[in-house]
Structure 1
């Protein structure tokens, strides 16, 4: 039965992440970039000033809302996760070092895509029966497009509910247990015979913590995210920069292999990865898995922001993709490639490859710190995707009463994620990610004129006038 599921998933995955999807994802990003005059490059300094500047201001949000900083932290909580650690490692192993180059390209165009998603989400959002702001792809499809397009909103929500259990929960919990087990085994604190029991205990603890945060409502989600995200990001960046600094002499070779491997992967991987398209496919797909540009999910969190300026909040989309992919994913790639650890190109790999990059540089003691970092990354992703799933469920059933039952079920999935082998689930999660992207990208493409109009208005009146 499993082999049949795997065969079906592989067929669907190859189609979704095949040539049409690459054209669609990169094409929509390029189209939006051209229509906005490459806003993500032209206004990048302004975007950093607007976002980082606002992060430093302390303010309270109204009931049922988040501060702009809490909104971006919640979105970053969902994006800065195991995709940055396990996803990048997998992309390099299967697609070669050149996959990193295609991650950068998808991120450059994805900045504009995510900017558009966030702007549309804030512009077309609604207030639900509990007085909370709700928005995202399903709402900008419903409120921005004609009725004959509304089926896309329900398609996105249905894929969203299915995706969160795998992408947002089970695979993340699996990464937490793998990281903790690795650290405990290194210090002989646990035997291989006790792993299954330890995983069950960890699964129950994670389930309780997730339920505690999610059932506390939008305020608690924002409060946890704004404390956890900055800590974990800075912590990981410092550890990664240390690896790069200690292996500084390898940097020219590493960047050479990235650029050369992007177009002729066989020359870098010794023929293990000989396909230019495989390098591109893995770079783009894992890049989107990490930064979510094109999926539309991050805009669900941004729609909760206590702001009246869609474009201003949209700049957080640029900041997110830059932080997630250009900074954190690049650092992960450098940890693997600069450390000089052997990479079995052409074979699947995950977080263990990144951990090996750290331990080969610092020693086995660092496994404790990498375990802490990975736990924070994965837990924050679980929280962020829990909000996304709840909003998709609420839209599907036209009632916020479904939110709590969904969150309880979502929390319990953590136990499954801790105790079951999830090799196939990682691939299924990648497939559902692609399925979510399709209705969203169609909607963003059709609503590109609204984005252009809002950008023009913003930069001719109001805050953006002198930018």
Structure 2
């Protein structure tokens, strides 16, 4: 019976993350990019000024700064998707998959601009009268009370989709494969339980302090780890400098030939299959259109929706165009993608060990640990906001206890049933988010025209 249910849930997850969702995310994002006349790129410098605090006003409504909102959102997107996900894309699709991840990020920048602008435009009040932002609020406030079932659907999916079982499971596996097993430690239930308990302690200290503590911690952790990761990959590129031009060019040429793909061709042939693989991995990495980022950006201290949208659009640029590209180049120039059958995080670890034989994999493990643990903080906040919307703000803290229990489950079991369920439900969050965003996009463009006049 369990095997049958597991098969159904696995099929459900694959179907949800399939072609229709990619059409919704990429097609919808492309429409928004054209509708905005490529605004994310035209105002990129202005977005940096906003991020630096040039336009901050302490009297504006909200709880956290633009920078804290961005790092809180990034803490959930920079993680296994950028390190293990890119490795999977290259192992299965070859270098060309990276190009289509870039395309996904460029489109995703536009999506994040619109969804996070809406999170400020249509903020609502929770049961305690406190201002809140996010897809569930801009659905109700922007589209009207008759659309509340869509907001409830988003929140219900968010309760499950935000659970950290997959992330914790992968982090535990990485610790086992990179640190414990190579050093002769026995990996069993007890060792996994210890990892889980350590994660519980770290996560509890942060998430029980609320959004302000989460944002303060992530605003310090995320930038420092991105910089460390950049330095490490830059070293790998220097060591293999003669290979960099070849592989950078190969990313572009292989995107249209799919010479290295290992999957069976779907409709559209091998190139079509490669496009789907790259865009899917990109969407999974930056989460543009899923609706998680607006939950963080909706708490930003600003009365100008467009400003927060411009800050939010930098998310896909950082997590996919920068971090994913760094991972990809490290894997490609070291050649490990051709000489080993390793996949996921093990392939990335092989690349780091190749260039830095003694310390490489441990430095990578440090980055993985911080990226993954910081994502635990933000997802706890997202799930709590969803519960607050459903049953009231005074009950929001109950989600934290459920969340902490799921960390133990993720560390000590490999329940593919639960991981597939969470993965599939997480993807379902895109349906209400993108539906509302596409319907409300013209209102965002009116706000854009008004805002642009104020800065010219």
Query: 1:207 touches 1:413 (CA, 8 Å); kept in 2?
Result: no
Cα contact 2:92–2:263 (8 A) shared by 1: no
Aligned ranges for residues 249-268 of structure 1 at < 5 Å?
249-265=242-258, 267-268=259-260
Q: TM-score, normalised by structure 2?
A: 0.92
Are the aligned partners of 1:289 and 1:433 in contact in 2 as well (CA < 8 Å)?
Answer: no
**Residues 71, 305 of structure 1: 8 Å contact kept:** yes
2:299 is matched with which residue?
A: 304
Alignment match, 2:90: 92
Q: Secondary structure at the match of 1:305?
A: coil
Which position in structure 2 is the counterpart of 1:157?
155
Give the match for residue 446 of structure 1. Answer: 439
1:185 deviation in Å?
A: 3.2
- The CA distance in 2 between the partners of 1:79 and 1:28, in whole Å, is 20
Displacement, 1:280?
Answer: 1.9
Match of 2:199 in 1: 206
Q: Deviations over 1:33-71 (max 9, x none)?
A: 1111111222223223332x229x999799971122211
1:276 aligns with 2:271: yes
Instruction: Tell me if structure 2 keeps the 8 A contact 1:208–1:411.
Output: no
CA distance 1:146–1:70, shift in 2 (3 Å): same
In structure 2, the residue matched to 1:15 is 15
Q: Counterparts in 2 of 1:140-155, with a 5 A limit? A: 140-155=138-153
Q: Show CA shifts across 1:230-265 (max 9, x none).
A: 111111111112112221222233233322332332
State the 1:389 CA deviation. Answer: 0.5
Report matched runs for 1:417-456 at 5 Å: 417-423=410-416, 425-456=418-449
Q: Is the 8 A contact 2:12 2:424 kept in 1?
A: yes
- 1:218-240 deviation per Cα after TM superposition (whole angstroms, max 9, x unaligned): 21111111111111111111111
Is the Cα contact below 8 Å between 1:133 and 1:303 reproduced in 2? no
How many angstroms apart in 2 are the aligned matches of 1:377 and 1:202?
16
2-structure distance, mates of 1:236, 1:129: 42
Q: What is aligned with 2:369?
A: 375
Shift of 1:270: 7.1
Instruction: Give the Cα separation in 2 of the matches to 1:441 and 1:376.
Output: 30
* Residue of structure 2 aligned with 1:321, choices 308, 316, 323: 316
Aligned-residue RMSD, C-alpha = 2.5
Return the TM-score normalized by structure 1. 0.90
1:405 is aligned, of 385, 388, 398, to 398
SS at the partner of 1:368?
helix
User: What SS does structure 2 have at the residue aligned with 1:263?
Assistant: coil
Cα deviation, 1:344-400, whole Å, max 9, x if unaligned, reads 89x893211111111111113222211111110001111111111111111122x01
SS state of the match for residue 37, structure 1? coil
Deviation per CA, 1:415-464: give whole Å up to 9, x if none: 11111125565544442232111111111000001110111110012xxx
Residues 76, 374 of structure 2: 8 Å contact kept: yes
Q: Is there any run of 5+ residues in structure 1 with no aligned partner, and where?
A: none
Looking at structure 2, the residues matched to 145 and 129 of structure 1 have their Cα atoms a distance apart, in angstroms, of 20
Hey, what's the Cα distance between the residues in 2 that align with 1:322 and 1:132? 32
Task: Report the CA distance shift for 1:237/1:131 in structure 2 as closer, same or farther (over 3 A).
Answer: farther
- How many Å separate the matches in 1 of 2:148 and 2:61? 29
1:155 CA displacement: 1.0
Deviates more, 1:15-24 or 1:32-41: 15-24
Gaps of 5+ in 2: none
Deviations along 1:162-218, one digit per CA (max 9) or x if unpaired, are 1111xxx12222232223323433662x523x4432210110121122122111112
The change in CA–CA distance for 1:63 and 1:411 in structure 2 (over 3 A counts) is: farther
- Matched with 2:222 is 229
Q: Please report how far the alpha carbon of residue 153 of structure 1 lies from its aligned counterpart in structure 2 after TM superposition.
A: 0.7
CA contact (8 A) 1:82 1:175 kept: yes
